[in-house]
Amino acid sequence: MIDAAAMRRFVAYGFASVGALGVDVATFFALMALGVTAPIAAVGGYALGIVAHWFASSRFVFTGRVAETGRQRTEQKGLFVASALVGLAITWAVVTSATLMGIDPRLAKLAAIGLSFVATFVLRSRFVFGERDAEPTRT
């Protein structure tokens, strides 16, 4: 059974993703309108969405699981970027493959959005913002 906190995080992650997706898709369409190829436009949109998602995730989704400062926070940001790069690779592969097959890049982007959402949520829940092991008590 899924606990209430996990469900709240999933719903909040969904909202954060919608906000980041707005940044992503707006950038994607703007770049396409400027004549940028679909795969490059998809990557550009995704990259700006990463920045928006960090702000939302670290402040509203995974509250209480964000490292305070220093090395741990830097490591957490690095893991966040790494998880985003997995999503970026998924986006690139889906949009590129579909475009080469003659599929409308907008439909390809929709498929990439779904796959990327699931992959990054799992990675971020488990590895980036996973529950920290308790510090060992000294006796």
pLDDT, one tens digit for every residue, the chain (139 residues): 678 888 888 899 999 999 998 998 999 999 999 999 998 998 899 889 888 999 999 999 998 888 888 899 899 989 999 999 998 899 889 999 999 999 999 999 899 988 988 899 899 999 999 876 434 334 3
Report the predicted TM-score, pTM, of the whole model to 2 decimal places.
Answer: 0.73
Q: What is the pLDDT of residue 21?
A: 86
Instruction: Give the count of beta carbons closer than 10 Å to the beta carbon of residue 67.
Output: 15
CA gap 6, 22 in Å, rounded:
24
Q: What is the spatial distance between Cα 71 and Cα 137, in angstroms, rounded to a whole number?
A: 21
Q: What is the CA 65 to chain-centroid distance, rounded?
A: 17
Q: Give the model's pLDDT for residue 132.
A: 61
pLDDT score for 135: 40
